[in-house]
């Protein structure tokens, strides 16, 4: 059998995988047990929704990889374009394993949960459907991961490098050192690093820390996972470009206001955790800002002040955040009303 056609025996290519409305993708226990033994070093995961026009760029970047111990897992989040046809054609011709799974459209975070249960690599690389890996990206990640002494790897979540635009400009700022062991809260707060970062994360941790999912909503901030990992795990940060990216019209970043208004419970969940769990690691200014956003999105979710007060561990912080959070909520409502009339 062609190596590129390898699939899980209990889930034929194209089988719908449905997700629980409130938790992690509903993948069988038997399947999870099988994925515990790595099939390869890397699983490259591409969640996609109607991106048949950009997927070839991602595929071609995988063909050019200098390091070949990887599989490509495409999780189709309900596409209605030619995605399935494209991927099935690539399965016939590629010299690396490609697996394709379709699920009803539920959002990128649910696709990530699905992929975590299906991935067979020790490490997972998230390659968005409109991005591409630099030619030696997997080799760079392998080299830096294996540079960590084996007896120390259990405290590391993975390796993260830089992202750049197609013109070569680095997104955000580089790390303060070419190789730095730290975590996402410290790297952002103490060192002031900005911008999207790309790398590889341990697959077992992706399974252990699934994204929450709220019925009717299709987005939650990806940094939720990385901030949770910061409590117990270290990342090795490297000043090397791993991925190239281009923002697409209609992508998640193209209309941030609409994204936030369509997913208030996910944002409310994120900022409640930010305030209660990471407060001591943030400045007072950031804590107040996060709490005001918690108030804002709680009001959008229909959660009143009394319940909000009970949910925040520092009521004084919540009280100080009420004016700003309420004013922004009112401004949102005015904007939504105005937009609805257009």
pLDDT digits (tens, 9 = 90+) for 40-69: 999 999 999 999 999 999 999 999 999 999
Domain identity same for 228 and 96: yes
Confirm whether 251 is domain-assigned. Answer: no
Q: pLDDT at residue 8 above 50? A: no
Kindly report the pTM of this predicted structure. Answer: 0.86
Domain identity same for 333 and 228: no
Confirm whether 200 is domain-assigned. Answer: yes
Domain identity same for 233 and 268: no
DSSP 176: S
- Domain span at residue 299 reads 256-340
Which of 245, 274, 309 is the last residue before a domain boundary?
245
**pLDDT range class, residue 246, cuts 50, 70, 90:** confident
Q: pLDDT at residue 91 above 60? A: yes
Domain identity same for 173 and 80: yes
Q: What pLDDT is recorded for position 3?
A: 37
Q: pLDDT at residue 10 above 90? A: no
Helix residue ranges, H only, the chain: 29-34, 55-63, 83-93, 108-118, 137-146, 184-189, 203-208, 223-229, 256-262, 264-278, 284-300, 305-311, 315-340
Domain identity same for 63 and 184: yes
Domain identity same for 159 and 128: yes
- CA separation for the pair 11, 243 (Å, rounded): 30
- Measured in residues, the chain has a length of 342
Which of 245, 279, 298 is the last residue before a domain boundary?
245
Confirm whether 250 is domain-assigned. Answer: no
Whether residue 220 contacts residue 212, with contact meaning beta carbons closer than 8 Å, is answered with yes
Domain identity same for 188 and 210: yes
Q: What pLDDT is recorded for position 4?
A: 37
Q: pLDDT at residue 22 above 70? A: no
Count of structural domains within the chain:
2
Calculate the average pLDDT of the chain: 89
Domain identity same for 171 and 298: no
CA angle 207, 82, 253 (to 5 degrees): 55
Whether residue 300 contacts residue 332, with contact meaning beta carbons closer than 8 Å, is answered with yes
**pLDDT range class, residue 248, cuts 50, 70, 90:** low
Which of 211, 245, 279 is the last residue before a domain boundary?
245
Q: pLDDT at residue 7 above 80? A: no
Domain identity same for 222 and 291: no
Mind listing the pLDDT tens digit for each residue in 158-179? 999 999 999 999 999 999 999 9
């Amino acid at each position: 059998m062609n190596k590129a056609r390898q699939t899980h025996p209990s889930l034929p290519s194209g089988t719908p995988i449905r997700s629980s409305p409130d938790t992690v993708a509903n993948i069988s226990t038997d399947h999870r047990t099988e994925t515990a033994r790595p099939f390869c070093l890397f699983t490259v995961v591409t969640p996609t929704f109607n991106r048949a026009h950009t997927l070839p760029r991602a595929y071609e970047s995988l063909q050019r990889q200098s390091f070949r111990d990887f599989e490509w897992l495409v999780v189709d989040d309900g596409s209605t374009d030619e995605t399935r046809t494209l991927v099935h054609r690539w399965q016939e011709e590629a010299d690396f394993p490609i697996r394709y799974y379709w699920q009803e459209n539920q959002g990128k975070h649910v696709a990530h949960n699905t992929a975590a249960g299906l991935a067979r690599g020790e490490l997972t690389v998230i390659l968005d459907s409109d991005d591409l890996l630099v030619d030696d990206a997997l080799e760079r990640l392998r080299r830096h991961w294996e540079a960590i002494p084996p007896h120390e790897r259990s405290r590391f979540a993975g390796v993260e490098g830089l992202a750049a635009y197609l013109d070569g400009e680095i997104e955000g700022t580089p790390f303060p050192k070419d190789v730095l062991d730290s975590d996402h809260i410290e790297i952002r707060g103490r060192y002031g690093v900005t911008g999207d970062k790309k790398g590889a994360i341990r697959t077992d941790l992706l399974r252990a820390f699934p994204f929450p999912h709220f019925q009717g909503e299709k987005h939650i901030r990806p940094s939720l996972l990385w901030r949770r990992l910061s409590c117990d795990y270290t990342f090795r940060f490297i000043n090397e470009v791993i991925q190239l990216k281009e923002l697409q019209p209609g992508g998640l970043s193209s209309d941030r206001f609409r994204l936030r208004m369509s997913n208030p419970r996910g944002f409310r969940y994120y900022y409640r955790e930010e305030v209660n769990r990471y407060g001591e690691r943030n400045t007072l200014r950031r804590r107040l800002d996060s709490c005001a956003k918690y108030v804002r999105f709680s009001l959008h979710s229909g959660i009143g002040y009394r319940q909000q007060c009970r949910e925040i561990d520092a009521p004084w912080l919540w009280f100080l955040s009420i004016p700003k959070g309420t004013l922004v909520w009112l401004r949102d409502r005015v904007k939504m009303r105005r937009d609805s009339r257009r």
